């Protein structure tokens, strides 16, 4: 028991020191952090992300094939022919597009209402709110990628970096536009002119998401330093080394809460662990 408490005490002292400011880590410190995990996404968040992504991919695949009038055509003829072959005819493709869109909208409305406090407000706080570190992140990250700035000079980030947040803003804004314009077009709610404006906004909103999707998928699934983030969208967890390096403010917030809880619980059993203030005074 004593040995375990000593080990815990050492881990906590290291964390408290790292909580002061991000800094270069020794190899041993890196090893310790790499072996610890923290929860990033819950089951509901992971499920929503993938169902939402699946719906988007289906809606984009069918929506772009539905734009086949000569003055509107967006995709090459061979693509439209393949999609026609899959669905049999254009009307069936349109029905499938509307059915999936209704399912997608219902899911998001359900999530917005029943997950308002736990998910929607968290999403707004973590993904849609920018501070001065976020504003400084984009140019700093660009310089870092071309080797002109050290990683340690990039402003620290919260649960999501400014690039991820920018995409979340585009997706959220476009989602609202699509949820308004989609029903107007599908159920002819309004005059001909309203429906035509709805078509324009529907197209622009969908294309804004398509434009960012390539970067999002590349950064999330293929970019080597973001690999732990990709797996976090499956397992819900990231290792602490990744969190410390790339999402320092989020790492700090979670660790501070964790330690406050931990030390106060152990105090009840008369076990004293170093407290935040003690370490910060050193
Ligand atoms: C199919 C390919 C996709 C992959 C591989 C992918 C991957 C990921 C990963 C790994 C994250 C987590 C990032 C992190 O925790 O740091 C993420 C977050 C996110 N993705 Fe995707 N994504 C895909 C499609 C989409 C689509 C189609 C959309 C919407 C149009 C989307 C919207 C988002 C948003 C808004 C977040 C932030 C979510 C949150 O707060 O949990 N993703 N994605």
Q: Categorize the per-residue pLDDT at 1 as very low, low, confident or very high, splitting at 50, 70 and 90.
A: low
Do residue 253 and residue 241 come from a single domain? Answer: no
Does residue 47 belong to any structural domain of this protein?
yes
User: Are 117 and 228 in the same domain?
Assistant: yes
- Identify whether residues 232 and 263 lie together within a single domain: no
Is the pLDDT at 185 greater than 80? The verdict is yes
Parent domain of 252: 248-282
pLDDT value of position 181: 98
- Is the domain of 278 the same as that of 185? no
User: Are the CB atoms for 273 and 12 separated by under 8 Å?
Assistant: yes
Task: For residue range 223-259, list pLDDT tens digits in order.
Answer: 888 899 999 999 999 999 999 999 999 999 999 888 8
- Per-residue pLDDT of 120-169, as tens digits, reads 999 999 999 999 999 999 999 999 999 999 999 999 999 999 999 999 99
What tens digit of pLDDT does each residue of 75-106 get? Answer: 999 999 999 999 999 999 999 999 999 999 99
pTM: 0.90
pLDDT attached to residue 5: 75
Is position 45 within any domain? yes
Q: What is the pLDDT of residue 15?
A: 84
For residues 3 and 8, give the distance between their C-alpha atoms in angstroms, rounded to a whole number.
Answer: 9
Ligand 1 first shell, C-beta below 6 A = 40-41, 45, 49, 52-53, 56, 123, 127, 160, 164, 168, 171, 209, 213, 216-217, 220-221, 229-230, 232-233
3-state secondary structure 162-204: HHHHHHHHHHHHHHHHHHHHHHHHHCCCCCHHHHHHHHHHHHH
Which atom in ligand 1 lies closest to the alpha carbon of residue 230?
10
237 CA to centre of ligand 1 in angstroms: 15
**Residue 6 belongs to some domain of the structure:** no
CATH number at residue 174: 1.20.950.20
């Amino acid at each position: 028991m004593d040995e375990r408490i000593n080990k815990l005490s050492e881990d906590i002292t290291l964390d408290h020191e790292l909580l002061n400011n991000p800094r270069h880590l020794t190899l041993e410190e890196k090893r310790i952090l790499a072996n610890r995990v923290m929860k990033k996404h819950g089951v509901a968040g992971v499920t929503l992300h993938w169902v939402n992504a699946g719906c988007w991919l289906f809606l984009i695949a069918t929506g772009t094939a539905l734009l086949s009038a000569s003055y509107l055509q967006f995709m090459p003829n061979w693509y439209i022919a393949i999609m026609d072959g899959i669905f049999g005819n254009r009307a069936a493709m349109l029905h499938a597009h509307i059915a999936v869109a209704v399912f997608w909208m219902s899911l998001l409305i359900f999530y917005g209402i029943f997950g308002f406090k736990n998910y929607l407000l968290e999403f707004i706080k973590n993904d849609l709110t920018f501070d001065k570190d976020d504003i400084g992140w984009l140019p700093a990250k660009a310089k870092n990628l071309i080797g002109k700035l050290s990683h340690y000079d990039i402003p620290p980030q919260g649960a999501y970096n400014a690039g991820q947040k920018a995409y979340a803003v585009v997706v959220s804004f476009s989602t609202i536009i699509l949820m308004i314009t989609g029903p107007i077009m599908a159920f002819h709610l309004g005059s001909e002119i309203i429906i035509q404006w709805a078509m324009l906004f529907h197209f622009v909103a969908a294309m804004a998401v398509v434009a960012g999707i390539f970067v999002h998928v590349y950064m999330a699934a293929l970019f080597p330093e973001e690999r732990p983030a990709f797996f976090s969208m499956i397992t819900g967890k990231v290792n602490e080394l990744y969190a410390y390096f790339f999402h320092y403010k989020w790492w700090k917030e979670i660790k501070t809460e964790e330690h406050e809880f931990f030390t106060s619980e152990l105090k009840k059993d008369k076990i004293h662990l170093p407290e935040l203030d003690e370490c910060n005074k050193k």
